[in-house]
Amino acid sequence: MIKFLETILDWSELWATMLPVIVWLFIKPKQKIFRPVIIYLLCALVLYFLIDLGYLGIFKNNNLIYNILSIVRLLFFLWFFHLLHIPSNKNIKKSATIILLLSLLAILVFENVRNFNSEIFGVEAIVLIIYCINFFLKTLNADAVESNINIALLIVTGLAIYESCCFFVFLFYSNLAETDIPFAVNLWNVHNIVYIIMCLYFSRAFFEFHKYESIKS
C-alpha cells in the first residue's frame, strides 16, 4: 500500500497537471487571461511526461527539463500578470522584465543547468511571490471586484501557495541532491503535494468561470 502511494506521488506532477487540462477541455474558457495559464499547463504536461520517463529508465537525468520547466512557468505567469496589469506602472513593468530576463540569461550562461539549478527556481519563486502579493494588494484596494479578477484570484492563490511553500525546497534542493539523496527525495514529495494543491486551484478557477458564464447567460 505504501509503495502504491509512493508511486502515485512520484507521478503526481503528470496526473495533477492533467486535472485542470481536462476541466479546460470540457469548459473551454475563452477569456484572454486564461490563455497563458492554459498554454503553461499544456507545456507542463509535455515536460512532466518527459521528466517522468525517468522512472521508466529512459532518462537518467531529467534535471535539465526541470530547469526548462521553471523558466517556462515563470515566463507564462509573467504574461498572465501582465494581462491583469500587474504591476500597474508600465515603467516598473518594463524595468522588472528586462532585469529578470538578464538575470535568467546570466544564470543560463554562467551556471550549470544540466543539474537541478536552485538559482533558476529561486528566481522563479521570488518573482512570482512578489507578483502574487502585488495582485492581492490591488484586489484589496479595488473599489469593486470584477468577475475575471475574482476568478483570477483562485489561480493566483494556488500559485502563491505553491511558490511560497516550495521556496525553501527550491533553495536547498540542489545541494541536498548531492549530499543527502534520500532526504532530497522525501523533500521533493512536499513539492509534489503542494503542486497538486495548485492544480486543484486552477481546476476550480476554470470551473468557477464556467459556472459564472452559465449564470450570466
pLDDT at res. 125: 95
pLDDT at res. 194: 97
pLDDT at res. 19: 95
Who has greater pLDDT, 27 or 137? 137
pLDDT at res. 146: 54
Exposure of 141 in the CB half-sphere (CA atoms within 13 A) = 7
- With contact defined as beta carbons under 8 Å apart, do 72 and 113 qualify? no
Phi and psi for 182 in degrees, rounded to 5?
A: -60, -40
pLDDT digits (tens, 9 = 90+) for 112-158: 788 888 999 999 999 999 999 999 998 887 665 555 556 789 999 99
Does the CA dihedral 143-198-132-156 come out positive or negative?
Answer: negative
The single residue listed with the C-alpha cell 486564461 is: 34
| For range 77-106, the mean pLDDT | 85
- With contact defined as beta carbons under 8 Å apart, do 58 and 109 qualify? no
Average pLDDT, the chain: 85
| For range 36-44, the mean pLDDT | 96
pTM as predicted: 0.90
The pLDDT-based confidence of 169 (bands split at 50, 70, 90) is very high
Reported residue count of the chain is 217
pLDDT at res. 216: 52
Q: Is the pLDDT of residue 172 over 80?
A: yes
Establish whether the linkage from the previous residue to 29 is cis, with ω within 30° of 0. Answer: no
Among 15, 45, 24, which Cα is nearest to 155's?
24
Cα distance between residue 65 and residue 68, in whole Å: 5
Q: Is the pLDDT of residue 40 over 60?
A: yes
pLDDT digits (tens, 9 = 90+) for 61-91: 788 899 999 999 999 999 999 999 888 777 7
pLDDT at res. 37: 95
- With contact defined as beta carbons under 8 Å apart, do 185 and 1 qualify? no
| For range 154-164, the mean pLDDT | 96
**Cα dist. 172→47, 87, 110, 130, 176 in Å?**
23, 29, 19, 20, 6
pLDDT at res. 191: 94
Cα distance between residue 203 and residue 23, in whole Å: 6
